Amino acid sequence: MASRPVFLPVVEGSALVEERSFDFPWASGFAEVQKKKNIHSLHARARESGISNILEISTKSDEKVGRHLSAFSLKIYIGNEKFPLESVYQGAKVFEEGGPYPEIFSMSPREAKKFIRSEDRGNLLRFELDGKRFPLIPKNAFYDWLYIRSLVDHTDWIVKNVQYDAFTDIEFNPNKQVNCQARAFAEFISLVERKKIFDAAKDFTVFSNYLPAI
């Protein structure tokens, strides 16, 4: 058995997202067919609780739009150039022994992650991007902010074409990881519904104030 979260946008109140976790039989293995089994099992359990219209956001999604919304597929403007979102996130890291690393922005996401993991750089201290510093707390704020920034120019298209009630990322294990593209997309939808998406995408502080300070 495994437990994985489902993220639902929240239109009113202080929280942007409701997170509900469900237990389901876990199909072990790295093959894509096993990943899809787990997605279907998680969605089936969520549907039993009344959550019926769910989009998996990952490279393993059955839906083309879910694959396109994967962080590994998205790009973000830094100045006048577009770079892979994941590579910018990795390159903005500042450690005790170095960083940031803007030279890896142009790498593929896998290459950028490999570069960061290639040696011991000490503890992560903060993020730096465009000459600005960003804190580690709220713990998922910087990643989620980059994610919504990468989507904001496509807001109108998303509103018309991505009409789901909840979102999952089968690769995300909350016991081992901090960042989750499904949660970030649920935040994006919540901000769109609140008519705050452009303010939040423009200003990190505006966005981070919506998140729990942990």
Could you read off the pLDDT of 25-42 as tens digits, one per residue?
999 988 989 999 999 999
Name the β-bridge partners of 3: 23
Q: What is the arithmetic mean of pLDDT over 123-146?
A: 97
- Reported in sequence order, the residue ranges of 63-160 that DSSP labels E, i.e. its strands, are 75-78, 81-84, 93-95, 124-129, 132-134
The pLDDT tens digits for 67-122 are 999 999 999 999 999 999 999 999 999 999 999 999 999 999 999 999 999 999 99
Q: Is the pLDDT of residue 59 over 90?
A: yes
pLDDT tier for residue 214 given thresholds of 50, 70 and 90: confident
pLDDT of residue 30: 81
pLDDT of residue 143: 98
Q: Where are the domains of the chain?
A: 2-74+139-208, 80-129
Do β-strands 2-9 and 124-129 pair in parallel, antiparallel, or remain unpaired?
Answer: unpaired
* pLDDT in the model for residue 4: 98
Q: How many CB atoms lie within 10 A of CB 88?
A: 27
pLDDT of residue 86: 96
User: Which helix (DSSP H) or strand (DSSP E) does residue 64 occupy?
Assistant: helix 64-68
Helix, coil or strand: residue 89: helix
* Residue 39 C-beta-side C-alpha neighbours within 13 Å: 23
Q: Which helix (H) or strand (E) holds 87?
A: helix 85-91
pLDDT for residue 68: 95
